[in-house]
Structure 1
Amino acid sequence: MESSRKFFPAIAVLLLLVVSTEMVPAAQARECETASNHFKGVCVMMANCGNVCLTEGFTGGRCSGFRRRCMCTKEC
């Protein structure tokens, strides 16, 4: 009975350690962006920018900056 009391704190700490490591979210990949080569004009609608970026091989795109340029995005 005495030996089980000695091991209880160690087992509790181990259990908490296992549970806490399972709850940590996976690391997210960084998102890199570069100006679109094919988008012409001022970027007003993000959907248009995103579609052009998809044709260029990127995962998406958004209008960005004061000059409203189409910036294509992908995971680094």
Structure 2
Amino acid sequence: MEKKIFGVFFLLFLVLAADVAVKKGEAKECFSRRHGFQGRCLIDWQCARACRSDGFIGGECRGLLRKCFCSRTC
């Protein structure tokens, strides 16, 4: 019985350790509002295209008033 419990905890430890290792390697994304975007942001790909033309890595429509926010790696 003790071997089963040890095996279960060891397997759980491996899964959690692998998850932490993956999250540590991911880069954090920072967002800033694109003030040059005219009107409401309704389509994400249009916002992303405008942001990429400004040198950002992407963009998306956010918020209640749907403004364009550009993303970059922090």
Q: TM-score, normalised by structure 2?
A: 0.67
Partner residue, 2:39: 41
Aligned residue-pair number: 55
Q: Distance in 2 between matches of 1:30 and 1:70?
A: 19
Question: What does residue range 1-76 of structure 1 map to in structure 2 within 5 Å?
Answer: 24-25=21-22, 27-76=25-74
CA radius of gyration, larger in: 1
Secondary structure of the residue that 2:48 maps to in structure 1? helix
Using the TM superposition, give the Cα deviation of residue 56 of structure 1 relative to its aligned residue in structure 2, in angstroms: 1.0
Contact 1:60-1:74 at 8 Å conserved across structures: yes
Using the TM superposition, give the Cα deviation of residue 28 of structure 1 relative to its aligned residue in structure 2, in angstroms: 0.7
Amino acid at match of 2:46: N
Amino acid at match of 1:73: S
Secondary structure of the residue that 2:31 maps to in structure 1? strand
Deviations 1:21-71 (A, max 9, x none): xx5435111100000132110000001000100111100000000010000
Structure 1's consecutive aligned runs of 4 or more residues displaced over 3 angstroms after TM superposition are none
Amino acid at match of 2:39: G
Q: TM-score, normalised by structure 1?
A: 0.65
Which deviates the most, 51-60 or 25-34?
25-34
CA root-mean-square deviation: 1.4
